[in-house]
C-alpha cells in the first residue's frame, strides 16, 4: 500500500490531497503546525471512515527537528514512505513591502521557503536510506516571473522554491529518489481568498478560472499516483487547461460549482 506524507495538510490543497489519497486506498500522514486545524482535519477524516489509514502529526516545518519527527512517526506507523509532498505555504497581507509587519515577512519566508527546504532535506536523506521514493514540491506564484502587486515577499519565496526544485531535480538524478513538482492551478482556498480574492479583479479571476478544492486535488492525486517519471511537472495551468476553464466559466457561474 502506498504511503504519502503531506506537510501543511490540515486545510486547503494539502487537506484535499490527503482526502484524495485516502479515497484512493493510500496511507496518509497529515502534518500541520496548528493544533486546532489539525484536530478539525482529524475529525473530518475519521468521520469519512479513514481512521485506520491516516496519522495526524503536529509539525512546524520551519523547525528541522519537527520535520524529522514527522518522517519518523510516519515511518513508525506505516513503514516505507513512498511519496512526500511539501504542500505548506503561508502568505502575508496583500500590501506593499513597507506596510507589512516584519513578522509577516519572516513568517512567509520561514513557512513557504524554509519549510520546503526542510521537508526536502528530510525526505531526500531518508528516502536515499530506504532505497527510493518520490518527493514533490508545490509551485505557484513566481513560477513564470509575473508580478502580483502587493504579494512581493510571497512571490519571491515561491520563485525561490521553483529555482530550488529545478536544482534538486538535477542533483537527485544520481540517486534512487525521484523529484517532481506540482502546479495546482487556481484553486479556491482560504489562501486565495485572502490574497487574490481581496480585490475586485482578483475575485473575478477566481470566479472565471478557479476550481473547488476537492475536484482539483482528486485530479492532482490521480496524476501523482500515475507518475513514475523523475523531474515531471504536474501542471494544471497549461494553455489548454486555462482555455477550458475560460470556456466553461459562464456555465459554472450560471449553475454554481459543485464540490
Q: Which CATH number characterizes residue 103's domain?
A: 3.40.50.720
Match 475560460 to its residue by C-alpha cell. 246
Burial of 52 (0-12, 13-18, 19+ CB in 10 A): exposed
Task: Confirm whether 233 is domain-assigned.
Answer: yes
Question: Mean pLDDT, 10 residues at a time, over the chain (259 residues)?
Answer: 96 95 98 95 97 97 97 98 92 81 90 96 98 94 65 86 97 98 80 56 58 90 98 79 50 49
Joined together, the cell numbers standing for residue 231 give 523531474
Task: Confirm whether 199 is domain-assigned.
Answer: no
- For residue range 100-132, what is the model confidence (pLDDT) as tens digits? 899 998 988 999 999 999 999 999 999 999 999
Domain residue limits at 147? 3-186+213-237
81, 5 Cβ separation under 8 angstroms: yes
| Residue 89 CB partners (closer than 8 Å, separation 6+) | 8, 111, 112, 115, 138, 140, 154, 158, 191
- For residue range 15-34, what is the model confidence (pLDDT) as tens digits? 999 999 999 999 999 999 99
Task: Confirm whether 31 is domain-assigned.
Answer: yes
DSSP summary character for residue 98 = G
Task: Confirm whether 256 is domain-assigned.
Answer: no
Task: Confirm whether 229 is domain-assigned.
Answer: yes
Task: Confirm whether 62 is domain-assigned.
Answer: yes
Burial of 103 (0-12, 13-18, 19+ CB in 10 A): exposed
Q: What's the pLDDT at 258? A: 47
Counting the structural domains of the chain, the total is 1
- Whole-model pTM over 0.75: yes
| Residue 120 CB partners (closer than 8 Å, separation 6+) | 86, 135, 137, 164, 168, 179
Task: Confirm whether 247 is domain-assigned.
Answer: no
Q: What's the pLDDT at 189? A: 61
Task: Confirm whether 41 is domain-assigned.
Answer: yes
Amino acid at each position: 500500500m502506498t504511503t504519502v506524507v503531506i506537510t501543511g495538510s490540515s486545510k486547503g490543497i494539502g487537506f484535499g490531497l490527503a482526502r484524495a489519497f485516502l479515497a484512493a486506498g493510500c496511507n496518509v500522514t497529515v502534518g500541520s503546525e496548528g493544533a486546532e486545524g489539525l484536530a478539525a482535519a482529524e475529525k473530518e477524516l475519521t468521520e469519512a471512515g479513514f481512521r485506520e489509514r491516516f496519522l495526524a502529526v503536529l509539525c512546524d516545518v520551519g523547525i528541522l527537528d519537527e520535520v524529522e519527527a514527522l518522517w519518523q512517526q510516519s515511518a513508525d506507523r506505516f513503514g516505507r514512505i513512498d511519496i512526500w509532498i511539501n504542500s505548506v505555504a503561508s502568505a502575508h497581507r496583500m500590501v506593499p513591502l513597507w506596510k507589512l509587519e516584519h513578522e509577516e515577512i519572516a513568517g512567509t519566508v520561514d513557512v513557504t521557503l524554509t519549510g520546503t527546504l526542510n521537508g526536502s532535506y528530510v525526505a531526500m536523506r531518508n528516502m536515499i536510506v530506504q532505497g527510493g521514493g518520490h518527493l514533490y514540491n508545490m509551485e505557484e506564484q513566481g513560477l513564470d516571473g509575473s508580478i502580483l502587486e502587493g504579494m512581493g515577499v510571497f512571490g519571491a519565496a515561491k520563485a525561490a522554491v521553483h529555482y530550488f526544485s529545478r536544482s534538486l531535480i538535477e542533483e537527485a538524478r544520481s540517486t534512487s529518489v525521484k523529484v517532481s513538482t506540482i502546479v495546482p492551478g487556481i484553486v479556491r482556498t482560504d489562501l486565495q481568498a485572502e490574497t487574490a480574492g481581496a480585490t475586485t479583479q482578483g475575485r473575478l479571476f477566481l470566479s472565471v478560472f478557479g476550481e473547488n478544492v476537492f475536484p482539483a486535488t482528486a485530479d492532482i492525486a490521480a496524476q501523482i499516483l500515475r507518475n513514475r517519471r523523475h523531474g515531471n511537472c504536474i501542471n494544471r495551468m497549461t494553455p489548454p487547461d486555462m482555455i477550458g476553464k475560460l470556456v466553461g466559466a459562464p456555465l459554472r457561474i450560471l449553475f454554481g460549482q459543485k464540490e
